[in-house]
């Protein structure tokens, strides 16, 4: 077996993680921007249309998170195989993954279309909003299998270190969505005026482009082919053993959003619409943190396969500090600019007030939310998905849900306080498990003092500012 050069186990740790995270950030930026664009254009149609978009977002992210969780599992096992110089095994794992995704996503899309009304009625959608949801989700479900294949395909590509090409695909898809949103929602030129359904068709076209682009990338890099199915059953067993935990873990993220939407529905459609706007702004704002967590899983998995434990230690420290500092920066920015940003999407005073207060309360916990995200990503890279799932289960059901419910009995703003407190307590719990794991592995990071390191970083920053 010939040993090929592998930048993930050879390039300096911080450099490699930044090199991976930067294109991921750009790709995610374009992806989340088209959600912002959707909100902007749909907001021109009315509050009911905006509320329909907010309801659909919860269901869409629940559906997408199933396959994002699968993608995380696929990425981790493929990256470990590449780190151990088993490239043919990586190709087999990719082919098996895509075949399974095609089967499951088509089945779920068909089922989703049949149960649009009962699903969203259960979430609190009113009779005025349900017809709009039929028009939007009935169309969107047709394109979801293409996006799911693209998501899992991008996870396989990132596992072997391909980030720039995948994120360019997502960036172009965002532009496609923007252009066709304008053309199809309002009926510009020869295009029909489809209203909210036009936004769904625009999004579906972008999904088709993502699918085609990812398949081309995987074919070019030898991860797709009819000769890549040797050991398919063994590969499927390995993927499922890892992915079951990551799937459940990812499903917990939109579950929190859906539960919050359900509680906010009791305070009127304006609160739901505002929360939908907040979700899009928040997704855009947290891109840097998400990108670090997405980069760290395949990085650690490859180095775990190559038994480069010191590089793993460096990655853990880098990811934790990066997430925490980005969270502080976001809080300062959004707490000041939240109401101004809200006016881009709505001129309703109630919506603007909600967005402003949300970012003054919840954004204070972004640093802690970031620590949870990177800790979960680290455990996935270390081939410990059950520990990652444990963190998310405790965060969701033992911390966030009870605090949200208690907050809902006290008032609207207490719901937001419960969400922030849940993020902070979850980070403390995740840090405890991380330190416990490092002690088990007898790693020096078990005795690290992050607060002292952060104080030193602050002193360096102040010294640099003074010149």
DSSP string, 345-366: T---HHHHHHHHHHHHHGGGGH
Q: CA neighbours within 13 Å on the CB side: how many for 461?
A: 7
Helix 450-466 to helix 309-342 angle (10° resolution) is: 60
Per residue in 103-125, pLDDT (tens digit) is 999 999 999 889 898 988 887 78
- pLDDT(2) > 60: no
User: What was the pLDDT predicted at 121?
Assistant: 87
The gap between the terminal CA atoms of the chain, to the nearest Å, is 53
Closest CA to 85 of 9, 154, 192: 9
Length of the chain: 467
Q: Measured between alpha carbons, how far is 13 from 19 in angstroms, rounded to an integer?
A: 10
Q: Compare 180 and 4 and report the one with higher pLDDT.
A: 180
CA distances from 180 to 70, 111, 198, 211 (A): 30, 27, 8, 18
pTM for the whole thing?
Answer: 0.76
Alpha helices in 221-286 (DSSP H): 232-264, 269-285
The answer to whether residues 400 and 426 touch, using CB atoms and an 8 Å cutoff, is: yes
Written as six digits, the tokens of 439 are: 């002690």
Looking up tokens 């006016």 gives 343
Q: CA separation (Å) from 171 to 28, 42, 54, 225, 431?
A: 8, 21, 23, 26, 34
State pLDDT tens for residues 408-442: 999 889 999 999 999 999 999 999 999 998 888 78
CB 397 within 8 A of CB 358: no
Domain boundaries, the chain: 12-230, 244-459
Placement of tokens 């750009």 in the chain: 26
Model pLDDT for residues 62-85, shown as the tens digit of each residue: 777 788 878 888 888 888 888 888
Q: Find the range with the poorest average confidence among 3-7, 125-129, 207-211.
A: 3-7
pLDDT of residue 465: 64
Rg of the chain taking only CA atoms, in angstroms = 22
Question: Using 50, 70 and 90 to split pLDDT, how confident is the model at 362?
Answer: very high
């Amino acid at each position: 077996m010939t040993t090929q050069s592998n930048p993930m186990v050879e390039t300096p740790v911080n450099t490699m993680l930044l090199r991976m995270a930067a294109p991921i950030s750009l790709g995610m930026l374009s992806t989340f921007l088209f959600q912002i664009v959707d909100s902007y254009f749909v907001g021109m149609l009315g509050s009911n249309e905006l509320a329909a978009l907010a309801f659909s977002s919860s269901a869409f992210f629940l559906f997408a998170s199933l396959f994002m969780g699968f993608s995380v599992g696929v990425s981790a096992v493929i990256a470990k195989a590449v780190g151990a110089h088993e490239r043919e095994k990586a190709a087999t794992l990719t082919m098996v993954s895509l075949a399974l995704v095609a089967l499951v996503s088509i089945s779920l899309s068909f089922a989703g279309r049949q149960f649009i009304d009962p699903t969203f009625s259960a979430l609190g959608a009113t009779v005025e909003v349900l017809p709009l949801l039929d028009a939007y989700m009935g169309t969107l479900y047709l394109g979801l299998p293409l996006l799911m294949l693209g998501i899992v395909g991008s996870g396989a590509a990132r596992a072997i270190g391909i980030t720039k090409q995948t994120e360019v695909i997502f960036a172009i898809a965002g532009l496609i969505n923007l252009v066709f949103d304008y053309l199809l929602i309002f009926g510009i030129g020869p295009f029909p005026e489809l209203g909210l359904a036009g936004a769904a068709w625009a999004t579906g076209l972008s999904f088709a482009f993502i699918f085609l682009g990812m398949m081309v990338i995987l074919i070019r890099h030898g991860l797709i082919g009819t000769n890549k199915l040797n050991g398919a059953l063994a590969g499927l067993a390995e993927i499922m053993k890892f992915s079951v935990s990551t799937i459940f873990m990812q499903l917990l993220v939109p579950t929190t959003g859906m539960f919050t939407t359900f509680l906010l529905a009791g305070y009127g459609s304006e609160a739901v619409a505002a929360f939908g706007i907040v979700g899009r702004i928040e997704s855009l704002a947290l891109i840097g943190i998400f990108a670090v967590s997405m980069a760290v899983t395949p990085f650690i998995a490859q180095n775990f396969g190559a038994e480069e434990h010191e590089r793993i230690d460096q990655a853990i420290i880098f990811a934790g500090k990066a997430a925490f500092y980005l969270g502080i920066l976001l809080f300062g920015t959004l707490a000041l600019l939240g109401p101004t940003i809200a006016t881009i999407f709505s001129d309703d005073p109630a919506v603007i007030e909600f967005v402003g207060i949300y970012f003054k309360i919840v954004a204070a916990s972004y640093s802690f939310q970031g620590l949870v995200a990177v800790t979960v990503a680290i455990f996935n890279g270390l081939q410990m998905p059950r520990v990652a799932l444990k963190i998310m289960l405790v965060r969701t059901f033992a911390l966030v849900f009870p605090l949200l419910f208690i907050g809902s009995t006290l008032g609207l703003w207490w719901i937001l306080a419960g969400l922030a407190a849940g993020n902070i307590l979850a980070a403390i719990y995740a840090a405890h498990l991380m330190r416990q794991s490092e002690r088990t592995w007898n790693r020096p990071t078990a005795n690290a003092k992050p607060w002292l390191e952060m104080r030193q970083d602050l002193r360096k920053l102040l010294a640099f500012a003074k010149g």
